[in-house]
Structures are given as structure tokens and as C-alpha cells.
Structure 1
Amino acid sequence: MPMSPLQRRASEIVEELRPELSEFHRTIWSYSESAWREYRSVELYVNRLREEGFQVEEGSGGMPTAFHATWGDEGPEIGMYAEYDATPGYCQDAATERKPREGLHQWAPGFTDAHSALGVGALAGAIATKRALEESGQKGRVHLFGEPAEKVCGSKAVHAAKGYYDSLDAVISYHPFWHNTALWDITNNLYWSAVFTFQCPEEEPWGVPLFKSNNVGSHNLVRSPGAIDALSLMINTTKVTRENMFPATGSWTLNEAILGASTATADNLAPRITQIQFSWRSPLIDIQEQILGILKNNAKHVAGITNTEVTMRWVTRTRPGLPNHALTTALYDNLSELGAPTFEGKVVDFANELERNLGFEPSDDPFLPETMSLVTPQETDKDIRFNLPPWQECTGADDYTEYSWHAPTVRFFTAKPFLKQLGIDLWHWANNAMNGVPEAIDPCWERGAQTIASTAVQLVEDPELLKTATAEFDERRSKADERLLNPLLPKDFNAPIELPWPEYVQTKRGFEWTLPTTDYFGEAI
């Protein structure tokens, strides 16, 4: 069914917004703030939404870098969301050679999968929906959520637990990617993450005063192994037990990250505190619980060996996704009418220079063909299933899945440029460099915003679509595991904003990343 005049008007409004929001995107890209620390980014969003006439709750769900913006008093309640967190370690400038953004450490954050464009696409979609409804007099209520810390699947499980999604009638989930499509049946895994903290609280934890009487000196006294040994043993013990955590079939991961700790000393004292984050994703809640049980068991025994105390602090617990064919079909029809984004002119010259610097012969058509074509949701589903066992219904991880348990939800993608000679490499510096080039990234988020706005308007104009999508949603929930019907975090859960997440700091030395500003780390050995 062709788009209605109001849908087309919403799409035109996105085009009108592009010059302004191109600058907005470039600013968010330049901030490149990582999980739970997106302070400047969220301020920019909140101010722009208030200028547009949205009511904005700052710090929604007790998360300082989250927000909940609403416009409209009645009609279908349509949800969409912005993300704006960057990835530590990928500080690539918008340049044709590998280098960090000016003045920053090479391991500061940067945008790998373009959350900067994701957020601006959703912002443009929300504004265009609001303006189209306002002009036409149609009744609808637009919700735009600011969702921080997606790289640790952080905020959506919190918003869900605290009831923010309960009133929604439909949700549109968007992400830049390497092709233009939507998900059909295969969604994303459960993703759980927790931080284990090892502390050594006693002055003489072993309780062995023997050598004091022998006058051996303080630096020769027996000491507790302490928190650093605990961290090392936790890593190694988990690697030893990894193959016993889950059945040897399927697709899932278990990752660890060491959080910053103030233990820099060469004295003969037991290190007091270390913290390690484990994040694991799998398609079944039973597997998630099995991994959790083994991690806790490992931590308990490691604490005993190292004479430390251990605690566990949840970061997140998400559910898998519920697909919705009715909503997906409608959105993909709109995307098909709009067409794939195009990348021409200056961005081709930029890509050719990247090719030269990578040792490739420059090409007339430097981008993956999938970036400028459409792939049906069914074909995407088939491609994903190729590498999965027949029983597995989800893979990867993204916390958008939390929305899908509260309202019919569609998940779609528009393409950003990827160099054909590099292939689908989300983390390669050359592909990431184009995220900061307006001619490369603007067509991606613009098409995403047009798809969001045209679909949101359709949901307002077409009660039958919403009715059909809701009936499918209710049926899928009725067949789901009862353990997944409610959020897996408690309603009184406090987001882990107090943990030592990496961030930018302002000191007398200036504005810098928490890593040293020098690239010198000592001599090679």
C-alpha cells in the first residue's frame, strides 16, 4: 500500500531538518561519551526536545544520562528511542588515515556501530512525527526515550522495570548497520551482566604474627594474597570452567572487563579492591542461570583462596525479543517506498583515499552493494539462521528487546557506508572514520528517520494496523516462558551509575580521557 499524504509529509519534514541535525550529529559524534557517562550528549538532546515543545523528564529511571520526552495528550502512544554512547578504544577521527580525534588518547571512545546516527535518526523521526501530527490535527502521543549505556545493555531493562513502557501501543526500534532491512523471527539473546568486587579489609588478614617476633622487617612480613590475586584467579578460573557452563551447541558469548581500581602501589601491602565485570549472552534463560551459578561459585572459592570478601552487583538482565510480523511488514513497505540511502560525491572521494591508504586500488564503486539495496526481512532471517542450530530463535545482543515485551515492536536497519574491499567489519578504523563525515553518515540516519516517522504516522492513521499488531503481540506473549513476562530486574533497582566506568575528566591538566595523555607505556621487553 503506498504511503499516505501525511506519511509523505512526515518524510519531507525529515529532509527539512537535515541541515540542522547534521550539525547536531557532528556534535554528538565529537563528544563520543561512553556508557553511563554521556553527560554532554544528553544535555544537547534535552535542550533540543524542549525547544521543539516536548515535555522532558531528565534522569528518568534514576539514570542521570537518560530522559523521557513526550508530546501529545491522546491517541495511539508510539515509542522510539535515542542512543548516544560510544565504544572505549575506538577513537578514530573523520580522516583518511588512522589517528584519534585531535587532543585525545588513541584508546578514548569512538563510534563503531554509529549510535551517534541512531540517536539523531530517532530524534529526527520523533520531531517529524510530532510536526506532521500537529499540522494535520491527527491525535497521537509521541514518546522518545534517551537510552544510555547500550554497550552494556544498561538502560532499557531499568526503564522497563520501572514501568516506563507500560502505556506504549507500539515501538519502533532503529539501528544503523551494513544493510537496509528489518528483523523477522530471529531477534536478540538474553544479555546479563554483573560486577564482582573483591575486597581485602583486614590489616593482617592471615593473622600470622610469627615473623614480627623475629624482627624480619615490615616488608618481609606475610601478607594476604589480596584483591589483585583474586581478580587474576577469577579470570583464570572462569576460563577453566567456561566449557562446563553451557551445552556445546548454539551461539553465545561470555566476556570480561576489568573496572578501574585505585591499587597503584609497589608497597608490600595487600591490594584492597578489584572489580571485574562479566557479561554473557545466550538464547535461553536456563543457560543464563547456569552461567550465573558457576560465576558465583567461582567467586566464592576465589575469595576463600585469596582471603578476600566478594560481592556481586547487577549491571543488567535483559530478555530475548518478541517479533511482530504485522508491524514489520508495514515498516518494511515504507522503507521500500523510500528506497535505500545513496552515497555519492565527496564521500566516494573520501572512500577512495581510504582505499589508497589501506593498500587497495581505488574503485569507482567503493561501497558494499548491500548498503545501497534493500533486503527483505524474510531473507535476512534466512541469512541469520544459516549459522544457527534449528532450535535457536535469537542471537547477538541488544537491549531493545525489553520494549518488545510491553508493546508490538519492530526492529529495522538502514545502511551506513562500508568499504567493499574491507567487507562487513564494524570495528575497522576506516569504516568508523566515515561515521564522522556528514556526506557518509547523514543519508543513513535521514532514511532511518523517514522510516520511523512514516511508520509512526501510519500507526496513528490506520487503527486496523495497530489492532492486528496488538493481537499478534498478545498471542506471542501468551505462548512465552512465564519467567520472561515481567522485567528481570526489580522495580526498585538502582542503575549501576556509581561504578568506575571510564569517562572524560576535567583537571588542571585539561580535558582528557581517563587513560594517560601520553602514548608511552614503558619499554618493550
Structure 2
Amino acid sequence: MNLQKSELIKWVDNRIGNLSDWHQLIFNHGETAWREYRSSAWYVERLRDEGFNVEQGSGGMPTAFCAEWNNGSGPTIAGYAEYDAVPGNCQAADTIQRPRDGLSPHAGGHTDPHSALGISSLGGFLGAKAVMEKYGIEGRLKFFGEPAEKVRGSKPIHAAKGYYDDLDAAISFHPFYMLPLCNTTRWDTHCGAAYAMIYSFECNSPQTWQGQTGATDSPIVAAHASARAPGANDALVQMYQTSKALKEHMVAAGCGWSMNECILTAGQATADNLPAQIAQIQYILRVPTIEMAQRITGVLDNNAAAAATISHCSWHRDWVSKSRHGLANHSLAQLTYDNLQFVGAPIFNQGKAREIAREIQRNLGLEPMDNPFLAVTEQLISPQAAEIELRKQLPEWQQHFTSDDYTEYCWHAPTVRLYIARPTLAAANAGYRYPDWVMNALGGIRETIEPMIACAAKTIGCTIIDLLIEKDMLAKAKREFEERTGGGVNGSQWQAPLCDYEAPINFRWPEYVTTERGHDWWIPRNDSRST
């Protein structure tokens, strides 16, 4: 089997230039949740060119896809690409802070970076496909396009619509984002549940707002001299402030959880004496348990009702995501980590990557370091050791921490969560923090991100080969899955999909637009603005 793995590693080494080129395309698209049109189209075309059958728009999501490739009978191994960027993080792949050409800093940009996540996973699957063809290894590869991960968007929908029902194993990869989960796999403490929703407030009957003396003589309801109805903006502000004020009363203290919000629509611009007709705010809850998510949602519903009532509005809630907590699989986690050991950790402190990092430090007014990249990014840590370190941050009862919707795969097949180091600079001195643009830039610069892409692709590909050749390894992982779920899918301990909604694509999600002014972010550049 080492022959096949060595062949896969050789394939990645020979194709790293292609993988890096492809990554540059996705990084520079910088498309955000539910609006990843060019990124998704690129993957669909690439996979078709590689011989995959591709369903575009899978699950009713225009920027999702489901690609399949068969090489005779055998297990079905799944993986996926994510490609959504983050609004307000438009950073060029450069050693100075600047947006990508022709855009403002408010445009979308890759932070994690999902651009490299997807290409790394694709590289592993294409490498495995090449080895399967050369050595006659039977099996089926299923590769998904998973949009809108930043709002936990596609995976709950794919799961609920049955796309994961035929999987034998799944491999989830993410660039590392927190220690100690760096060059390792998750062991026991997987990500928790997440609920995301949009609250909409509408003022549809402003004329029924309480009248005032003298106002009835005006032919225009809410004329300039009249006291108009409060309207949707007022409701949104009340919702925002009330939910902030009551946050400490939603969940008992002593566990790691978060609630974040984002205003999608506010009133529509007007200087007239008219009430705002519509305002929308999105919340996302990252919590250890589904029960906590339900409890917080109940509080938010009450807040929305109160805010609407005092602002003369109606309200309703639309789901963006209801994702389950994760499920461990030690067998697959250990197998994948063994392959990471076989491949070796990525190396950043050498060659042009090192010089680029030193240039960034110099541009920030720092003394360039001999080894500018964080030492742990070039070291492995076993999943068991990482688990011990992670548990030091958490109360004993808390079984899940942070949130990512890879957890949806966990309930349909044995699933591993793999973390490979991304380029991260070492602190120049105690307490120093680099500005956010630095990591965003390092994730886009070819020479600094390539070591991660290569390491992840090799590890993923080797794990696929193991699962297809070593039948006992896959059987062991599947037995553990059945034990943890109390009998597999629909077992006594199995958690069914929570998604009972369609893809929330028809909202004012941030996006790029093309007008007579050209192609731009939906918040246009304002080059003439004085500083």
C-alpha cells in the first residue's frame, strides 16, 4: 500500500503548480455566502473535465454541486470544497495592506481561507482518482460543493435531502484556526450545534399609527409635519439592543458559546418623513447542544415580538441553518493522523515563503525574525494530546465546542475532521498581535499557502486509498459509527437532520453587482471620499 501512497504523494508534488493556480482563481473571486457563482461554476467545469458526473445546483442551492466518479464496485468516500469568502475582508495577496485590484476593502475576501480548503480537498480526491485508475482500485468518489459555510448554510440542506445517505466514510478538512488543533485530527470534542435565522420586521400599515391633532387635514399620510409610525428600523434597533442586554440571561454561565448578528437590510434609503418599511437582522448561535439553541431561539422570538409591537410592525423568522453537533470516530481520526505522520507536517520557514514573511514584518515596522512562522505550524500533535489540551479550556460536562457544519456528515457515515497548519506568523514580542490583513494575505500568497495545500491534499488522498484498499480499516470505522449511533442511521442514539426549510437564497446577502458603473461590490467604491 505504501507504493500507492507514494504514487499519490508524487502526483500532488507534480500537480502543485496546477493546484496553486486554481487556488489563485478562487481566492481572487472572493465571493460570499450564497453568491459564489463564479467559484462554484469553476469547480463544476473542473470536475467535469476530470471525468466526474456533476449535479449543479444540488439541494435547490444554485451555488452547490454534487460530483460523482465511479471505478467499479467499492466503498463511497466523500469530501467537499467550500469557497465562500467573508464580507469586509478584501485583501490582496501582498505584503502590504491593500484591497484586491479594483475593489474596496469592504468587498469579500478569504480569511480561513476557504479558497485553499476547497483546492486542498480537491487535490486529494483527484490524486486518489489517478491512483485508483493506475492500480485498478475499485470505489466511488463523491465530492460536494458546499456554499455558505460562514452561515452554516449548505450541509444541513444536503443532509436533509438525502445526499449523504449512500456514504461509507467522509473526510472533512479545514485550515487550522485555533490551538491546539493544528496538524492533527479531532478526537472526542467535536464542534457543537448551530442555529442561524433572519428576523424580518415590516411596517405595512403606517396609516394606522395613532393620529395627532391637526394631522387629519393632510392629504398625505405621515406628511412632513406629522408624527410618523416608528417603522422597521426602530423595530430592528429594539431587537438588537434587547438581545444584547439579555444575552447573559439566555444560557447559564460556565460554557463556551457565542451569538453574533448581522444587519442585512435597513429600511431602504430615504430622507422623506416615511417609516422604514422593512429591516432584517441575522443571528447565528454556536452552542454545545441543540437544547441550548432551541432555548436561545425562544428568547430571540420573544424579543422580536416585543420589538415589533412597540414599533408598529409585524415580524417573522426565516431559518438559515439548523446544524447538528458532531460525532467522534476514533478509528478514522487515527487512520487519518497516521497518514499525516506519513506525509509530514508542512514546512513554512524556508525559501521564498520565509522571505515574504520577513518582508511583511519589515513593512509593519518590526525586526524580521530568522524564522518568522509560528513553530507549531511545522509540528504534529497527536489527536489524543490535542484533546487533552483542548479540554483544559472547557467544563467537564461540555462535550462540544465551537461550530462548523461538517458535523452534518458525522451522522451519516464515519467522518474525520482534519486540521493542517496555515501560514501564521510568530509574535514579534509578548502580547503583540498582527493586524487581520496579515493572515488574509498569507492565505492568498502562492508561496506561503502552497505548503498547506500540498500537505492536506496528500493526507486526504492517502486516507482515501487506505479506506478503499484496507477493508478492515473501513469496517472498523463503520462498526464504531454503529456503536456510537446505537445501530447506525435511525439508531437509538442517532440524531436526525434538523433542517426543515429550503435554501434561504432570496435575501439581501452581500454580493458583487454589475451595472453601468462596472463590476463592483454592492457597497460601491468611493475613491473621492476625503480622509
TM-score range, shorter chain: over 0.9
User: Which residue number corresponds to residue 184 of structure 1?
Assistant: 187
Supply the AA of the counterpart residue of 1:502.
Answer: P
User: Which residue number corresponds to residue 131 of structure 1?
Assistant: 130
User: Which residue number corresponds to residue 41 of structure 2?
Assistant: 43
* Aligned 8 A contact 1:319 1:484 in 2: no
Provide the rounded CA distance (Å) in 2 between the counterparts of 1:213 and 1:323: 67
Provide the rounded CA distance (Å) in 2 between the counterparts of 1:418 and 1:117: 14
SS across alignment from 2:175: strand
1:446 aligns with 2:449: no
* Aligned 8 A contact 1:81 1:173 in 2: yes
Q: 1:339 aligns with which of 336, 344, 347?
A: 344
1:66-77 mapped onto 2 (5 Å cutoff): 66-72=64-70, 73-77=72-76
Question: What's the CA shift for 1:358?
Answer: 1.8
* Aligned 8 A contact 1:83 1:147 in 2: yes
Supply the AA of the counterpart residue of 2:50.
Answer: E
SS across alignment from 1:233: helix
Distance 1:227 1:8, change over 3 A: same
Question: What's the CA shift for 1:359?
Answer: 2.2
**334-343 vs 210-219, greater mean Cα deviation:** 210-219
Distance 1:233 1:336, change over 3 A: same
1:329 aligns with 2:328: no
1:212 aligns with 2:215: yes
Question: What's the CA shift for 1:181?
Answer: 0.9
Question: What's the CA shift for 1:11?
Answer: 2.1
Distance 1:521 1:157, change over 3 A: farther
SS across alignment from 1:219: coil
**Residues 178-211 of structure 1: per-residue CA shift (max 9 Å, x gap):** 6311111111010100000000011403152743
For structure 1, the 5+ residue unaligned runs are none
1:210-359 mapped onto 2 (5 Å cutoff): 210-213=213-216, 218-261=223-266, 263-343=268-348, 344-359=350-365
Provide the rounded CA distance (Å) in 2 between the counterparts of 1:315 and 1:212: 42
* Aligned 8 A contact 1:82 1:119 in 2: yes
SS across alignment from 1:235: helix
The percentage of counterpart residues that share the same residue type is 45
User: Which residue number corresponds to residue 395 of structure 2?
Assistant: 389
Provide the rounded CA distance (Å) in 2 between the counterparts of 1:317 and 1:424: 37
Provide the rounded CA distance (Å) in 1 between the counterparts of 2:529 and 2:499: 41
Distance 1:138 1:424, change over 3 A: farther
**212-221 vs 155-164, greater mean Cα deviation:** 212-221
Provide the rounded CA distance (Å) in 2 between the counterparts of 1:199 and 1:510: 32
Provide the rounded CA distance (Å) in 2 between the counterparts of 1:395 and 1:99: 34
* Aligned 8 A contact 2:24 2:446 in 1: yes
Q: 2:508 aligns with which of 500, 513, 518?
A: 500
Q: 1:413 aligns with which of 410, 413, 419?
A: 419
1:463 aligns with 2:463: no
1:18 aligns with 2:16: yes
1:435 aligns with 2:412: no
Distance 1:273 1:522, change over 3 A: farther
* Aligned 8 A contact 2:265 2:281 in 1: no
1:158 aligns with 2:157: yes
**244-253 vs 129-138, greater mean Cα deviation:** 129-138
Provide the rounded CA distance (Å) in 2 between the counterparts of 1:520 and 1:232: 31
* Aligned 8 A contact 1:425 1:431 in 2: no
User: Which residue number corresponds to residue 367 of structure 2?
Assistant: 361
Q: 2:60 aligns with which of 53, 59, 62?
A: 62
Question: What's the CA shift for 1:412?
Answer: 0.7
Provide the rounded CA distance (Å) in 1 between the counterparts of 2:298 and 2:5: 50
Distance 1:467 1:509, change over 3 A: same
Question: What's the CA shift for 1:215?
Answer: 5.8
* Aligned 8 A contact 2:233 2:278 in 1: yes
Q: 2:495 aligns with which of 460, 485, 498?
A: 485
* Aligned 8 A contact 1:186 1:395 in 2: yes
Supply the AA of the counterpart residue of 2:399.
Answer: E
**254-263 vs 136-145, greater mean Cα deviation:** 254-263
Distance 1:484 1:254, change over 3 A: farther
* Aligned 8 A contact 2:206 2:229 in 1: no
Provide the rounded CA distance (Å) in 1 between the counterparts of 2:175 and 2:304: 38
1:147 aligns with 2:156: no
**Residues 56-84 of structure 1: per-residue CA shift (max 9 Å, x gap):** 00000010100000000520000000001
Residue correspondences, number: 519
Distance 1:132 1:437, change over 3 A: same
Provide the rounded CA distance (Å) in 1 between the counterparts of 2:39 and 2:518: 19
Question: What's the CA shift for 1:231?
Answer: 0.3
Distance 1:197 1:96, change over 3 A: same
* Aligned 8 A contact 2:485 2:494 in 1: no
Question: What's the CA shift for 1:424?
Answer: 11
Distance 1:194 1:169, change over 3 A: same
* Aligned 8 A contact 2:158 2:164 in 1: yes
* Aligned 8 A contact 2:24 2:444 in 1: yes
**102-111 vs 199-208, greater mean Cα deviation:** 199-208
TM norm structure 1? 0.95
TM norm structure 2? 0.94
Provide the rounded CA distance (Å) in 2 between the counterparts of 1:354 and 1:460: 44
Provide the rounded CA distance (Å) in 1 between the counterparts of 2:357 and 2:258: 33
**197-206 vs 396-405, greater mean Cα deviation:** 197-206
Distance 1:24 1:249, change over 3 A: same
Provide the rounded CA distance (Å) in 1 between the counterparts of 2:492 and 2:113: 35
User: Which residue number corresponds to residue 377 of structure 1?
Assistant: 383
